[in-house]
């Protein structure tokens, strides 16, 4: 069964600090992995997308890494801001017959405090 | 351009009533998805439409749930005889094609409360 597991479930950090969120998956055959940010009361918004051949991708203060061999990804947030408080969701898509559906992790809830 | 829109933004209904939730995808997006998100939990896939193909209904939790899509435009998710366990945010997303190749763009969701 395709699964995506994220850790930690929740995280509290001080403004200006860095943090790293983890995502492990068992989706196969792998097509791509996306990190989404979901603000409270809003729909998720894509931050990065990574395919099999990519091992790092940056979007401003967000940097995602992918190790396709160990099936692990991380999202690193640098110099956190209060507006980074949100849920971060790892989403993995498959190729072939399962290409129509993505598998969503339960998300990591990040709280940035002043 | 306009993003994915959903209506209503909030819906409170009594147990046993039927509800209809609407999604307007981004123009030109052939794929449309419905998800359910219970409080504090992750997104749960419900149904997927891709062009004129038969929809993938494998995520619908019971026969009380159904969805329709008119061509490549508006979709409605219908929940019959609502139960308290149906209380959740229902998110719609659209994309140019399958998520193996294309990003999903999400609407703001409809918050359903069954009393």
Give the separation between CA A7 and CA A100, rounded to whole angstroms. 26
> Over its length of 115 residues, how does chain B's per-residue pLDDT go in tens digits?
589 999 999 999 999 999 999 999 999 999 999 999 998 888 999 999 988 888 989 899 999 999 999 888 899 999 999 999 999 999 999 999 877 778 899 999 999 999 9
Across the interface, do B109 and A43 touch by the CB < 8 Å criterion? Answer: yes
The structure tokens listed for B110 are 């409809």
pLDDT at A94: 85
Test mutation, B100, B105, B113, chain A, max A CBs within 10 A:
B100
Across the interface, do B106 and A45 touch by the CB < 8 Å criterion? Answer: yes
Cβ contacts of A52 within 8 Å, gap of 6 or more: A30, A31, A32, A68
Whether residue B108 lies within 8 A of chain A, CB to CB, comes out as yes
Residue with tokens 């061509």: B71
- Strand B110-114 relative to strand B10-13, pairing: parallel
Give the separation between CA A92 and CA A75, rounded to whole angstroms. 14
Give the separation between CA A28 and CA B100, rounded to whole angstroms. 12
Give the separation between CA B47 and CA A20, rounded to whole angstroms. 32
Give the separation between CA A39 and CA A45, rounded to whole angstroms. 9
User: In the β-sheet with B19-24, what is the strand arrangement from edge to edge?
Assistant: B5-7, B19-24, B75-79, B65-69
pLDDT at A69: 92
Confidence check: pLDDT of A99 > 80: no
């Amino acid at each position: 069964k395709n699964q995506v597991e994220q850790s930690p479930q929740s995280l509290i950090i001080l403004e200006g600090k860095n943090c790293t969120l983890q995502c492990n998956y068992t989706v196969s055959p792998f097509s791509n992995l996306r990190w989404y940010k979901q603000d409270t009361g809003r729909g998720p918004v894509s931050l990065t997308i990574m395919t099999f051949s990519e091992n790092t991708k940056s979007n401003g203060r967000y940097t995602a890494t992918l190790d396709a061999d160990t099936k692990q990804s991380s999202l690193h947030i640098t110099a956190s801001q209060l507006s980074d408080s949100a849920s971060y969701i790892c989403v993995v898509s498959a190729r072939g017959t399962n290409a129509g559906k993505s598998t969503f992790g339960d998300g990591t809830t990040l709280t940035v405090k002043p | 351009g306009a993003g994915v829109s959903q209506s209503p933004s909030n819906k409170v209904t009594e147990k046993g009533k039927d509800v209809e939730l609407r999604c307007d995808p981004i123009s030109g997006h052939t794929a449309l998805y419905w998800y359910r998100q219970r409080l504090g939990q992750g997104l749960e896939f419900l149904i997927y439409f891709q062009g004129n193909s038969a929809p993938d209904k494998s995520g619908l939790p019971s026969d009380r749930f159904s969805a329709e899509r008119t061509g490549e435009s508006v979709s409605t998710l219908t929940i019959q005889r609502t139960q308290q366990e149906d209380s959740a945010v229902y998110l719609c997303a659209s994309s140019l094609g399958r998520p193996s190749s294309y990003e999903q763009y999400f609407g703001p969701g409809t918050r359903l409360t069954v009393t």
